[in-house]
Structure 1
Amino acid sequence: MALIAFVLLGIALSTHAAVYITPEQIHLSYGVDPTQMVVTWSTMNATQTTVGMIALQASLRPSYTPVEGTSEKFVDPGTLHHTQYIHTVIFTGLIPGQIYVYRVGTRPESVWSDQFTFHAMKDGTDWSPSVALYGDFGFSNHQSLQRLSIDKDKNMYDAILHVGDLAYDMDSDNGYVGDKFMNMIQPLAAELPYMTCPGNHENAYNFTHYKARFNMPTDMNGDNMFYSFNMGPVHFISLSTEHYFFLQYGVTQILRQYYWLIEDLEEATKPENRKLRPWIITMGHRPMYCSNTDKDDCTKWHSIVRDGIPFIHKFGLEKIFYEHGVDLMFWAHEHSYERLWPTFDDKVYNGSLKEPYTNPRAPVHIITGSAGCQEDHDSFIPDPRGWSAFRSDDYGYTRMKVFNSTHLYLEQVSDDKDGAVIDSLMIIKDSHGPYKN
């Protein structure tokens, strides 16, 4: 009897220990080129090793290859000092476009996650990427989650772009809300690269949770605040609008991003590079323009994001995006959807009266911040300025498909209207480059 009790106690203790090193919060992000994929996850206790097991799905009997990774202890700065261990593995040598199966865990404890699947990014520029985009998506009131999951199961997307404000908030309840959110999105993010930018709700402790939990590509700062990556015929730029508002963390962050951005745009707009990847698309959390009632920065005549630091009006983003011929800008922050006419300096520059998005003479702005969070909707003023083309406060998200070098399609999905497409447009550009007005 004593022996049986001892054995049962041993099993219980072993099971308890395994729970605390079981991988959770698993999510993917792109590496520096199509031959890489980065997987990140957490365990509540330290592990002896960090390992990803990967195989080609096409194999009849997949032969898993172990890949060693790294682990960092992360302690939430709140009162409980909630601790977890964040693990990262970089899968390299992938065959572009192929489907892989993988699992993550630890040896010799032999505790593994479920098996997941991902597509390695296709190589080159002659293919048509599709992505879902949204911001302001929380653990509570996550209206769009089920519909996004259905889309994912239909293989509709190559990646997801989250335009700031995650979880509401990652640091809330001593970081446990962040854990719950990352586990909530795991069915999406463990199989689709989940590309992010920071929003104001990530600001606690100088964006500590955001910097620790994600691994974005070509990030020269090691903190995910701004970076760029290529995807088919698109050069994507992710940036931090929050540098302009949380000055307690230093003004140098504005300068560092601004000069990096100019350097990145100069490289992307070299003739040989713009020919390969003509579309330049940015994402940042706080918009330059909006017609909401909340008196946010985007409602002002002189937006800080647009014009730069107050009083001196330097290091703003609108002019450099315009001068480098940025095609499309995605924003969030407002808990609504708004499409603008091609706009620069508070003026509309449509391609023509009948075809405003055919050869537009300024960048197109899309605000997509209505995926669902605990703060509900943001309302609109009754009479917006002339640049506002379409508005909705329905919960939902944006789909984008870049067909080729000339045609890009956008549509807004309403969760309130059972997945109906409530807005759509095709941007057609015969050439890409600096605007001439």
Structure 2
Amino acid sequence: MAHGRWHMARLGLLASFVFPAWADAAKQPEQIHIGIGQLAGEMTVHWSTIQESQSASPGDSVVMYGLSADELTRNSTGISFLFQDYGIELRSFRMHVATMTGLLPNRVYYYIVGGNRTGWSQPLSFKSHPISAGDVQSRLPMSYAVYGDLGDYNGQTLPSLLAEARKGELDMVLHVGDMAYDLDSDNGRNGDAWMQDIQPLAASVPYMVSHGNHEANRHFNHYTQRFRNMPSNSGTITFPEYGNVPNNWWYSWDSGLVHFVTISTEVYFASPLAQMVAEQHEWLEADLGAVDRTKTPWVIVLGHRPLYCSCDADCDSFATVNRMGLKQPDGTFKYGLEELFYKYGVDVFIAGHEHNYERMFDVSPMWDPITPWLSGITTGSTVDPPATTHIITGSAGSVEDHEPFTRPAPKRTAKRLNTYGWSKLTVYNASHIYWQQFQTDSAQPPSTWGQVMDASWLVQHHHGPFALHPRRDQVDNSEGKGLHPLDTSSVDMSFFKTGRRLQMQCKHAGHDQELACSDPSLAKQLVSKGRWQYTKLVDAAKPADFV
């Protein structure tokens, strides 16, 4: 890529960045989003120019950037490629990727993307990432928005996320799969609209992604192409839809005190991708084994489908496959993710897929062939847990609405919620991180919007392989297997600011009928405050709604 100074006269721009007539808004770059680069001091940017849909020319792929919006003194020329949607209209248009290099740490940079022929974006800005250990210490605490399953329609978390970004409260976004619902819907126009909707967030904060089942069409064509700016360090992938491209299905990067790893939980469920299961497993073991825990003590893995959950049959089927691996002819399992998490001491695994929120404690491997969803054993710890902590945050909002908890809470579960919301991970130092879940459900009273529904410190003084953890022996003596001694259809709500935990069963025959709780005073209180949380309970007798 070429770098250097460009004079304003050469660009045909005024020094004040008043854009000329040819920079028509309809022709300017759109769907702009940034990502962490492969090397320190880098930030990548990806955008589209829809007006080139019938053009085979390479287009303009320039990013100009600098420490002042009035002095964009540096430039980088990236790459352009023709994106092909495979819907009935066979739409195609240009996508562009460029890299800003040589960034000073922890500084606000301004940038524009585009070129003379395609027009330029409006000035945008971001804060560069820390580089040295000293930079990291001066930047702490660092905060990450985390969520999965965010659609274009009913994307109820987006206003809250945009507000958080405008306040400068986010250092990065981690999206664990399922986007737009779907990126390829309406010949890809739904994906275009969603990418435009998230641009105010994704163009100012690195937007790091994993793919989910809703991206699977045509070998994840839309996901693979729309996020070509991810810091791929796992080679390339090749499919007819897009040829040989950098692998953004699984990759890793460092951010502050965290080594993040994105994995594909989806390769386990498509027979044409079966060979990729072994490839990813081999790469993941090498990546986890090479982490320098003195530099990045925290290791957090991101993927779409959970290894443990408690909502429905997914927790027996898909979760078992990702957790244990592919079943072999002799009855054993191979290429399971949990064995690697335990072997290399992965601190947290974060997933989506289930359209709810479930924070779990540490879960050590313990296979239960009779009731697979109750596999694992926990010490119930948030301080020096001797195994990986599992969290599901798939309630960002989409056309598929909520996903009910149809099963009781296992002992490994610390908190379950079924309202729209997003999670925030804040890293304070090498031993302490703080986790929060914010409620953004428009069906709930306005006074509860933005309320913290769950919060917990996670403290770890012994990063590394869990087989060497000083509390490892306590796992064998733990009684943390099986179910909580609660009503089988209970859901923990915690809507009240006092943090009161409401676990009394409440049912009603329909949304227009009177609520009936085992505690009449609770029913009256819920109705008077309008704090109803509707989900579907599927049991052997008949479907019922419960709160």
Classify the secondary structure of the residue corresponding to 2:159: helix
**Counterpart amino acid of residue 177 in structure 2:** G
Q: How many angstroms does 1:49 deviate by? A: 2.3
Report the residue type matching 1:277 in the other structure.
T
Say whether residues 1:254 and 2:267 are aligned partners.
no
Gap change, CA 1:302 and 1:391, over 3 Å in 2: closer
* 8 Å contact kept, 1:20–1:43: no
Contact 2:22 2:119 (C-alpha < 8 Å) held by counterparts: no
CA distance in 2, matches of 1:403, 1:149: 23
State the AA in 2 paired with 1:228.
Answer: S
Equivalent pair of 1:51/1:66 in contact (CA under 8 Å): yes
Give the aligned partner of residue 239 of structure 1. Answer: 263
Normalising by structure 1, report the TM-score: 0.90
2:392 is the counterpart of 1:367? yes
Kept in 2, the 8 Å contact 1:34–1:96? The answer is: no
2:46 corresponds in structure 1 to 40
Computing the radius of gyration from Cα coordinates, the structure with the larger value is 2
Residue from 178, 192, 206 that aligns with 1:193: 206
* Cα offsets for 1:156-207 (capped at 9, x unmatched): 1101000000110111111111111100100000101000001000000000
Partner Cα distance (2:218, 2:118) in 1: 35
Could you say which residue in structure 2 is the equivalent of 1:3?
none
**How many residues are paired up?**
410
Q: Deviations over 1:345-402 (max 9, x none)?
A: 2333327xxxx21100111011000000000000002422221121001100000111
3-state SS, counterpart of residue 133 of structure 1: strand
Structure-2 separation of matches of 1:110 and 1:181? 22
What are the residue-to-residue correspondences of 1:313-324 with 2, within 5 Å? 313-324=333-344
Unaligned 5+ segments in structure 1 are 1-13
Structure 2 residues not aligned, in runs of 5+: 1-19, 237-245, 366-374, 442-447, 473-547
User: Match of 2:195, SS?
Assistant: helix
The residue aligned with 1:7 is none
How far is the alpha carbon of 1:111 from its aligned partner? 1.2
Residue 276 of structure 1 aligns to a residue whose secondary structure is coil
Equivalent position of 2:463 in the other structure: 432
Give 1:211's aligned residue.
224
For residues 206-259 of structure 1, what are the alpha-carbon distances to aligned partners after superposition, in whole Å with 9 as ceiling and x for unaligned? 001111010211332213100000011110000000000122x33111111110
How many Å separate the matches in 2 of 1:241 and 1:301?
Answer: 9
Q: CA RMSD in A?
A: 1.9
8 Å CA contact 2:59–2:118 kept in 1: the answer is no
Q: 2:98 aligns with which of 84, 89, 96?
A: 89
Match of 1:224 in 2: 248
* Conserved 8 A contact 1:212-1:223: no
Alpha-carbon contact 1:164-1:284 (below 8 Å) kept: yes
Task: Report what 1:10 is aligned to.
Answer: none
Corresponding residue for residue 320 of structure 2: 303
Partner of 2:66: 55
| Counterpart AA for 1:243 | V
Counterpart code for 2:422: Y
Residue identity in the other structure for 2:323: R
**Aligned-pair CA distance for 1:20:** 5.8
TM-superposed CA distance for 1:118, in Å, is 0.4
Asked if the contact 1:104/1:113 (under 8 Å) is kept, the reply is yes
Instruction: Name the structure 2 match of 1:116.
Output: 124
Preserved CA contact (<8 Å) 1:28 1:194:
yes
Corresponding residue SS for 2:131: coil
SS in 2 for 1:426: strand
Aligned to 1:11: none
Amino acid at match of 1:422: M
Residue 407 of structure 1 pairs with residue 424 of structure 2: no
- Deviation, 1:301, is 9.7
Q: Secondary structure at the match of 1:93?
A: coil
Check conservation: 2:350, 2:390, Cα contact below 8 A: yes
Taking the aligned partners of 2:411 and 2:59, their CA distance within structure 1 comes to 60
Tell me the distance in 1 between the aligned counterparts of 2:455 and 2:384: 17
Distance 1:16 1:204, change over 3 A: farther
Is the Cα contact below 8 Å between 1:128 and 1:402 reproduced in 2?
Answer: yes
Name the CA distance, whole Å, in 1 between partners of 2:123 and 2:319: 50
C-alpha deviation, 1:130, in angstroms: 0.8
User: For 1:27 and 1:157, how far apart are their aligned partners in 2?
Assistant: 15
Instruction: Provide the rounded CA distance (Å) in 2 between the counterparts of 1:289 and 1:433.
Output: 22
- Does the aligned pair in 2 maintain the 1:76–1:82 contact within 8 Å? yes
Matching of residue 158 in structure 1 with residue 183 in structure 2: no
Mark the CA change 1:349 to 1:177 in structure 2 (over 3 Å): closer, same or farther: same
Larger relative contact order, structure 1 or 2 (CA cutoff 8 Å, min sep 6): 1
Would you say the 8 A contact 2:345–2:465 is kept in 1?
yes
Aligned 8 A contact 1:291 1:380 in 2 = yes
Amino acid at match of 1:225: W
> Is 1:390 paired with 2:398?
no
Distance 2:26 2:156 in 1: 30
Residue 454 of structure 2 aligns with which residue?
423
SS of the aligned residue for 1:381 comes to coil
Shift of 1:149: 0.7
For residue 310 of structure 1, report the CA deviation from its aligned partner.
3.0
State yes or no: 1:336 paired with 2:356. Answer: yes
* Offset at residue 122 of structure 1 (A): 1.1
Structure 1 residue 132: deviation in Å?
A: 0.1
Indicate conservation of the 8 Å contact 1:124/1:232, yes or no.
no
Contact 2:59-2:94 within 8 A present in 1 as well: no
Q: How much has 1:64 moved relative to structure 2?
A: 3.1
SS of 1:132's partner is strand
CA 1:170–1:63: 2 relative to 1, 3 Å: closer
In 2, the alpha carbon distance for the partners of 1:97 and 1:252 equals 41
